[in-house]
Structure 1
Amino acid sequence: MDASPTAPAARRGLRDWFVDTGLFLLAVLYGVVMSGMRLDSPPLPVPLWLFNVDQLTGVLGCAALWLRRRRPVELAVALVVLSTFSELVAGAMLVALFTVAVHRPPRTTTAVFGLSLLAALGYVVLRPEPDTSRMLPWLLGVTIQGAAVGWGLFVHHRRRLTASLRDRAARAETEARLRAEQAQHLAREAIAREIHDVLGHRLSLLSVHAGALEFHPDAPAEDIARAAKVIRESAHQALQDLREVIGVLRAPVGELPQPAFADIRELAAESGRAGMRVDLCEELASAVPDSTGRTAYRIVQEALTNARKHAPGAEVRVRLAGAPGEGVTVEVRNAVPGLADAPAAPRSLTDALPGSQPGSQPGSLPGAGSVPGARSGQGLVGLAERVALAGGRLEHGPTGAGDWRLSAWLPWTP
């Protein structure tokens, strides 16, 4: 990148010292050769005093080259002005022109180069060569100065190109890292939703039956055996689901196990075997697409899990309706303890859990939704994200008739 005129000069490295020394020696060599040529071909074309001033100017110009990195433009202008009458400072002036072309914008380089052309014209006017046309020395000077400036511009653009490619590579690396982090974050969110949906459903069954055994230790042996069987089967299935998820984490080339829309019937039947009263109504024109069916399954699963945890004993009504082009509507309703009439006496072992009576735990989720003003659980948050990713809408809240309603609409592309 180009150095700013006001920026502090960077500390010279070994390569910089090598380059600066080489350019200084070239400028000195030019002055020594030109001075020797003048001394070897008397008479001198200028008075002796002017030749001595020319030599002193050349020495000072060469010494000033060590400042070329700090003040390249100022040094170049000064040497260009001195080259109007000094012949031996031309080597240092060429190095200064090269430095400006390398370290400053092309517009500044063009201005300094134009000034050097005028200085070359002034030199051939003030110090003409005997028996030589004035145009020939001027053209020779223009050619040499143009070569120095052209070389400097080549180095300047090459450095800019290298810096641009380096910056582009750094930006690409940063963007790739950010995309990878975003992909990892999305993957973690997806896995978290799957673990919550899959294990939450199984563990809620365990909680229901374990709680029933705790509150009814004197229940009939048949009910205790049935509850123990459900606990064992749910624990086994939870372990199977957990193994599948862990297997995906260990081998990320696969996909998380996903249910289908037809599995909603088995989900309702499983909840029924656990003691819930589930009324499933399907009004679908045809088979639902797989992606929409998976989202609908998760909605029903979360609603049943919340109803089982926070409204045990209440009847849950599940309605599935839709058609291609119209979308799929998933609606789950259940009675809310404390808002509707008190539930009837427990019909089975699983009906007699804490919270089935009015005035259950404050701030808990009443089935498919959440109590107004209460803190929603992670399940509804993840469910809302899942529905939004599918392009649908999710609503939940009390109906005013003692029920809690969770409703979702999902797109169904024909």
Structure 2
Amino acid sequence: MIRLSPGEPVRRGRREWAVDTGAFVLAAVFSVVTSEPVVDNPAVSDARLAADQVAGALACAALWLRRRWPVGVALAILPVGVFSHFVAGPLEVALFTVAVHRRPRTVARVTALALVCLVATVLVRPDPHTPPELDVFIGLVLIGGVVGWGLYVRSRRQLLASLYERARRDTREAVAREMHDVLAHRLSLLSVHAGALEYRPDAPPGDVRQAAGVIRESAHQALEELREVIGVLRSDAGNGTRNGAEHPQPTLADLLRLVEETRRAGTPVDLRQETGGAADVPRAVGRTAYRVVQEGLTNARKHAAGCEIEVVVAGGPRRGLTVEVRNRLGGTAQNTTRSTSGPAVPGAGVGLVGLAERVALAGGRLEHGRDGGDFRLRAWLPWRA
């Protein structure tokens, strides 16, 4: 892992060692390849040429510190470059590093200083074979090229980081939706049956045993479904497909089982399926429809316990799949059930929000709210032939 804040220790992995070695070699090669005008210049003494080469070697060595102090390395090399040609290669690498790892304001200041040093270099070390204007132009191209390339690399890294963070956020939201869908349904069933035991201590032993059995079964199912969700999430994360194959997610074919569980909890449910066969519904569409019905039943048990629930699933290829869950609001049934089954099941208020996100991801639409004296939850999902 590389830490780029000033003063923090740098730990290089294989990739970082390869990149730093490549930068060192590239800087040295660039300086040597472009040194012919300096080496062949009779006005340059041997002592000055040797000092120039030593300065270039030290500048190349300083590149190993560029990850920790990119601005410092660039500022140290820039004034030396006015008098030494062999510093040109390390200077290009240093400017590139500043553009990659520092804010645009800092990059602009360092670049401006580099342009000033470029003009000073042409005045202090003029090339007898090249016009000064051409020297300045070549320098501008080199500086602009490495700085522009560095800014592009920086923006690309920021884009990838933002996409990675968005993917992490979407994954957390997906996990939250799955956990809510699985646990809210099962725990609401547990609350209904446990409330019945609490508020009817004089119930016949047979009813107590039956309620206790339903509680145990619901708890077992909650653990199983939670394990299924975790298995699918691990499979989606790239840990293989075995868990996903062993623990398939529910589809529209499991809707009758879901309704029967709600009926056994004492809530009357009228289910109508008009799809011409649940097996014909695509799995992804059926899974989303199942979650819509599950959330509708859970909300009805929380806020209108004992009231009859009407579930309608209709549609077909090309015209889409419509799922509607409707229940009465308030009234005698709700009050009676609460008096015998305990207080209303608390809710976090995020079920419908997560459901809307799920339906939107499937390309559908979700509507919910009061419809006269009823609460209606309605979803439309695309069904492609």
- Aligned position for 2:4: none
Q: Distance in 2 between matches of 1:16 and 1:335?
A: 78
- The match for 2:298 is 305
Answer whether contact 1:209 1:350 (CA < 8 A) is retained: no
Match of 1:378 among 324, 327, 350: 350
Query: Residues 211 and 158 from structure 1, CA distance in 2 versus in 1: closer, same or farther, beyond 3 angstroms?
Result: same
- Pick one of 235, 238, 261 that aligns with 1:253: 238
Which residue does the alignment assign to 2:318?
A: 325
Deviation, 1:280, is 0.9
Matched residue of 2:82: which SS?
A: helix
Identity in percent = 47
**Alpha-carbon distance, 1:236 to partner:** 1.2
SS of aligned partner of 2:249:
coil
> 1:328–1:412: 8 Å Cα contact kept in structure 2?
yes
Structure 1 counterpart SS, 2:341? coil
Superposed CA RMSD: 3.4
Q: 1:315 maps to which residue?
A: 308
1:282 is aligned to: 273
Separation in 2, partners of 1:311, 1:68: 73
For 1:123-272, list aligned pairs within 5 A: 144=128, 146-247=130-231, 252-253=237-238, 258-272=249-263
Taking structure 1 as reference, are residues 397 and 72 closer, same or farther at Cα in structure 2, changes over 3 Å only? closer
Mapped to 1, the partners of 2:154 and 2:74 lie a distance apart of: 25
* Deviating more after overlay: 382-391 vs 227-236: 382-391
Alignment partners' CA distance in 2, 1:398 and 1:335 = 10
* CA distance in structure 2 between the partners assigned to 1:385 and 1:11 by the alignment: 49
Contact 1:319 1:331 in 2 (8 A): yes
Provide the TM-score with structure 1 as the length reference: 0.59
Distance 1:71 1:162 in 2: 16
Q: Is the 8 A contact 1:212 1:350 kept in 2?
A: no
- Number of aligned residues: 278
1:398 aligned partner: 370
1:15 maps to which residue? Answer: 77
Of the candidates 329, 336, 339, which is equivalent to residue 329 of structure 2? Answer: 336
Letter in 2 for 1:404: F
Residue 224 (structure 1) shift: 0.8
Q: Secondary structure at the match of 1:328?
A: strand
Judged with a 3 Å threshold, the aligned counterparts in structure 2 of structure 1 residues 329 and 17 are, in CA distance, closer, same or farther, namely closer
> What amino acid does structure 1 have at the position aligned with 2:369?
G
Q: Distance in 2 between matches of 1:271 and 1:183?
A: 35
**What does 1:62-77 align with in structure 2 at a 5 Å threshold?**
none
Secondary structure at the aligned position of 1:285 is classed as coil
> Which amino acid letter does the alignment assign opposite residue 174 of structure 1?
Q
Partner of 1:64: none
Q: Which residues of 2 match residues 12-161 of structure 1 at below 5 A?
A: 13-22=75-84, 95=123, 144=128, 146-161=130-145
Would you say the 8 A contact 2:82–2:124 is kept in 1?
no
1:26-57, Cα deviation, whole Å (9 max, x unpaired): xxxxxxxxxxxxxxxxxxxxxxxxxxxxxxxx
Amino acid at match of 1:178: S
Q: Matched residues in 2 for 1:321 and 1:283: separation? A: 4
**Offset, 1:261:** 1.2
Q: Deviations over 1:70-113 (max 9, x none)?
A: 5987x8xxxxxxxxxxxxxxxx9x63696xxxxxxxxxxxxxxx
CA distance in 1, matches of 2:168, 2:197: 42
Between structures 1 and 2, the one with greater helix share: 2
Deviation at 1:68, TM superposition (A): 11
Q: Look up the equivalent residue of 1:95 and give its one-letter code.
A: L
Segments of 5+ residues of structure 2 without an aligned counterpart are: 1-71, 86-112
Distance 1:408 1:12 in 2: 60
Mind listing any 5+ residue stretches in structure 1 that lack a counterpart?
A: 1-9, 24-66, 76-91, 99-142, 366-375
Q: Is the 8 A contact 1:333 1:405 kept in 2?
A: yes
Cα distance, 1:20 vs. partner?
Answer: 3.1
SS of 1:292 mapped into structure 2: helix
Residues in 1 aligned to 2:322 and 2:297: alpha-carbon distance in whole angstroms: 16
| 1:357-376 correspondence to structure 2 within 5 Å | none
Alignment correspondent of 2:341 = 353
Change (3 A) 1:282 1:351: farther
Q: Distance between the aligned counterparts of 2:133 and 2:191, measured in 1? A: 84
CA distance in 1 between partners of 2:179 and 2:375 (Å): 25
Cα shift at 1:21:
3.7
Equivalent-residue separation in structure 2 for 1:267 and 1:298 (angstroms): 10
